[in-house]
């Protein structure tokens, strides 16, 4: 906990995530690691120290609600082959599984830590991290443990998700048989060890059926884990409807979502987490962001940084830019989706992703004066200064 109170002041754009509407220069009072007051500088309380951020654009710390950092190996050759016309079969995930199983604890921890540091340097202050390249009880527990160890000593806040159902491992006889192992053996072990807050399933054509996914996610909920899903990325399987029926906090991807799926989400509290990075790299269709927003669905933007379909760590500024340029979102909506939206996708509404009283004091001042920079700089907007829990972590 930082010592004393802090007053951050500025006269530029302040997105809370909605633009601050004055009057005049603004001030943010920080106490005990939380935002304690936000308002006009003229009304600000006195603090032990003051930092003037001048005319910089200021946003909440970014929340990247979908990443896969715990892996070894390199599949850039596969990306090139895919762009030359090879079909995405998902067999590539098993290549990463083999490389990850072969990696030492030290190597896997170091690789994961480097990805977390790249994310932090890009303005991400909360990041969701999935397992899913181990696909055995021991390897999945190891990945979750090493994510935790990689995060130790780094200021970035990590939320862990168990994704044992990312692919069917080569040694399993069928997806149903493996789903039973995930539900009956892995989930109790993960929950008992306290290694994850959420459980996710890759429910899609060629991966896990809605039946397999339901079995796994019901076991997860019974074990006290929150649930989220990879849904309707490759084919319209009904995964989104299952996510809503099971009360998942988030349905992620949604490239193939249709009007009926939009309506289903609109009638639920499930967040739509959109991932334009892999859709772009895979030359896939983009998820229907505009229709989701117009229907009143809470939308998050996340990177889906992973081993095989989007390898860019530290790319959340680009993802916001893609939200505005490819998904038809306003830039302010895109920033909101990467802050408050990401927080909603992690069940952290009001605690992260907003500059408002009672939220964790996670904040970024950017090397730009307006959120339009996320579109104009397209991936190159960078933090100039970052605070997490009221403590400056760079600059």
Q: Supply the minimum distance, in Å, between the C-beta of residue 69 and Zn ion.
A: 11
- Report how far residue 21's alpha carbon sits from residue 9's, in angstroms, rounded to the nearest whole number: 15
Using CB atoms within 10 Å of the CB of residue 38, give its burial: 0 to 12 exposed, 13 to 18 middle, 19+ buried: buried
- Closest to Zn ion by CB, 274 vs 291, is 274
Which CB, 6 or 201, lies closer to Zn ion?
Answer: 201
**Is cis: bond before 188, omega within 30 of 0?**
no
Instruction: Output 61 or 132, the one with its CB closest to Zn ion.
Output: 132
Q: For the CB of residue 61, give the shortest distance to Zn ion in the complex, in Å.
A: 21
Minimum distance from residue 66 beta carbon to Zn ion (Å): 6
CB of 230 to Zn ion, least distance (A): 6
Q: Are 288 and 265 in contact (CB under 8 A)?
A: no
CB of 166 to Zn ion, least distance (A): 8
Q: How far apart are CA 321 and CA 116, in angstroms?
A: 21
- Least distance (Å) between residue 237 CB and Zn ion: 16
Strands 226-231 and 250-253: parallel
Residues 292 to 311 in contact with Zn ion, rule: CB under 5 A: 304
Q: Which is nearer to Zn ion, 74 or 105 (CB)?
A: 74
Q: What is the total residue count of the chain?
A: 395
Query: DSSP E strands: which ranges in 182-325?
Result: 198-203, 226-231, 250-253, 271-274, 299-301
Nearer to Zn ion, 78 or 304 (CB): 304
- Residue 255 binds to Zn ion (criterion: CB under 5 A): no
Number of residues that bind Zn ion (CB under 5 A): 1
Beta carbon nearer to Zn ion, 268 or 303: 303
Q: Are 126 and 162 in contact (CB under 8 A)?
A: no
- What contacts 169, CB < 8 A, 6 or more positions away? 94, 97, 135, 136, 178
Q: C-beta of 310: minimal distance to Zn ion in Å?
A: 9
**φ, ψ (nearest 5 deg) of residue 285:** -70, 155
Q: Nearer to Zn ion by C-beta: 129 or 365?
A: 129
Distances (CA, A) of 84 to 75, 79, 92, 234, 283: 15, 9, 16, 19, 11
Residue facing Zn ion at closest CB distance: 304
Residues that bind Zn ion (CB under 5 A): 304
């Amino acid at each position: 906990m930082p010592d004393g109170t802090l007053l951050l002041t500025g006269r530029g754009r302040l997105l809370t995530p909605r633009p601050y509407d004055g009057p005049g220069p603004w001030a943010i009072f920080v106490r005990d690691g939380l935002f304690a007051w936000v308002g006009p500088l003229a009304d600000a309380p006195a603090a032990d120290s003051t930092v003037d951020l001048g005319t910089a654009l200021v946003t909440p710390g970014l929340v990247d609600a979908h990443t896969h950092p715990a892996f070894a190996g390199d599949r850039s050759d596969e990306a090139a082959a895919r762009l030359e016309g090879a079909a995405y079969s998902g067999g590539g995930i098993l290549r990463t599984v083999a490389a990850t199983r072969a990696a030492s604890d030290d190597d896997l921890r170091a690789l994961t830590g480097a990805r977390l540091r790249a994310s932090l340097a890009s303005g991400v202050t909360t990041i969701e991290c999935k397992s899913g390249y181990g696909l055995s009880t021991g390897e999945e527990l190891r990945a979750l443990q090493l994510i935790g160890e990689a995060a130790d000593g780094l200021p970035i806040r990590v939320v862990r998700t168990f994704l044992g159902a990312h692919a069917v491992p080569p040694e399993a006889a069928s997806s149903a048989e493996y789903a039973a192992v995930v539900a009956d053996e892995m989930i109790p072990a993960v929950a008992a060890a306290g290694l994850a807050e959420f459980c996710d399933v890759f429910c899609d054509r060629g991966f896990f059926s809605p039946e397999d996914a339901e079995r796994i996610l019901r076991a997860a909920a019974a074990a006290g884990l929150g649930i989220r899903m990879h849904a309707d990325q490759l084919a319209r399987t009904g995964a989104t409807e299952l996510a809503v029926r099971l009360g998942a906090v988030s349905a992620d991807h949604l490239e193939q979502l249709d009007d009926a799926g939009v309506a289903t989400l609109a009638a639920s509290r499930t967040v739509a987490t959109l991932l334009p990075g892999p859709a772009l790299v895979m030359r896939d269709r983009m998820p229907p962001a505009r229709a989701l927003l117009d229907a009143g669905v809470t939308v998050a933007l996340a990177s889906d940084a992973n081993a095989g379909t989007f390898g860019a760590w530290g790319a959340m500024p680009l993802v916001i830019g893609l939200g505005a340029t490819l998904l038809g979102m306003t830039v302010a909506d895109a920033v909101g989706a990467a802050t408050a939206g990401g927080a909603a996708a992690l069940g952290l509404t009001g605690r992260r992703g907003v500059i408002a009283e009672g939220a964790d004091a996670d904040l970024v001042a950017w090397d730009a004066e307006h959120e339009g920079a996320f579109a104009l700089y397209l991936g190159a907007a960078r933090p100039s200064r970052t605070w997490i829990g009221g403590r400056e972590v760079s600059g």
